[in-house]
Structure 1
Amino acid sequence: MSSTVHIPFDAAGPAVKDVMMLEPRSVGPATPIAEIRETFESPSVKLMLVTDGERFLGTVTRDDLPASGDGPIEPHVRTDTPRLSPEDPVDKALALFNDHGLSRIPVVTGSDRLEGLVCVNGSHAAFCIYPR
């Protein structure tokens, strides 16, 4: 996978689809908690997207995981995570980042299909995408 490119907020396109990462990695609801913990060992992984096929189910963060134990991730999936649609304005994404203290927001269609992920860099000054 290519390294990320940073798009400053003031240079971003008008819609979320212009600044989202395409084909984000996701896991299924039966994925073992141990596997999710291992993935979170990478400091760049902040959010796991959970899907059933192409249907978006929700997200899991490090804080959502139980302190111990294993089993499937499904009981720990958050369904209340803010989400965006590809046609939403970039300003809506920026407001969600600011209002909720997020650095990643899933992009989902009206039919719950996962389309992408909007990501901001560590300094919260630019969107990060993979080169298209």
Structure 2
Amino acid sequence: MLNVAQLMTLKPVSVSPDDSLAVVKQIFDHVKFHHVLVVENGILLGVLSDRDLFKALSPHIGTAAETPRDLATLNKKVHQVMRRKPVTLQPQAKVMDAIHLFNSEGVSCIPVVDSNNRPQGIISWRDIIRALDRTDKRTEP
């Protein structure tokens, strides 16, 4: 049985709780992942998803209808919109533990932390689907 350390993404991107949403928007605009970890002094404080960012920003940013008030939403701080105390797993947790949390908690990523709540990686349901797809291809005749 696989454990999450075998499937997790190492070195997930992290931001500070005092970073602006403009910083997070810049990250999401240039990468193909959907979550950043919020870390302070090496300790996980929360998670911010692209959906959380989308909900916090004005829909008029970058359009002809944009106003200074819309742009001000980019100045909000990460700690104002992040999900605090996210569900986490340790690296030795089984993939089935992650699947259970995805189903019961309604999350789409799980930070993987050590016993001191220091991020080691991140696992998403996509990581598990990719692993199953690779496993299935190896067992085909």
Which is higher, the Rg of structure 1 or of structure 2? 2
Please state which band the TM-score falls in when normalised by the shorter chain.
Answer: 0.7 to 0.9
Higher helix share: 2
Q: Which has the higher strand share?
A: 1
Matched, 1:29 2:29: no
Higher relative contact order (CA 8 A, sep 6+): 1
Would you say 1:125 and 2:124 are equivalent positions?
no
Which residue of the partner structure matches residue 6 of structure 1? none
Q: SS of 1:106's equivalent?
A: strand
Which residue, 32, 41, 45 being the options, matches 1:53? 41
Match of 2:66 in 1: none
Hey, what's the Cα distance between the residues in 2 that align with 1:121 and 1:82? 17
Normalising to structure 1: TM-score of the pair? Answer: 0.72
**Deviation at residue 127 of structure 1 after TM alignment:** 4.2
Q: Which runs of 5+ in 2 are unaligned?
A: 59-72, 133-141
Relative to the length of structure 2, the TM-score reads 0.68
Match of 2:4 in 1: 16
Which runs of no fewer than 5 residues in structure 1 stay unpaired? 1-12
In structure 1, how many angstroms separate the alpha carbons of the residues matched to 2:19 and 2:112? 21
Is the CA contact (8 Å cut-off) linking 2:45 and 2:85 kept in structure 1?
Answer: no
Cα separation, 2, equivalents of 1:61 and 1:54: 19
Alpha carbons 2:110, 2:122 under 8 Å: kept: yes
Instruction: Show the 5 A alignment for 1:1-132.
Output: 14-42=2-30, 44-65=32-53, 66-68=56-58, 69=73, 70-121=75-126, 125-127=129-131
CA RMSD, Structure 1 to Structure 2 (Å): 2.4
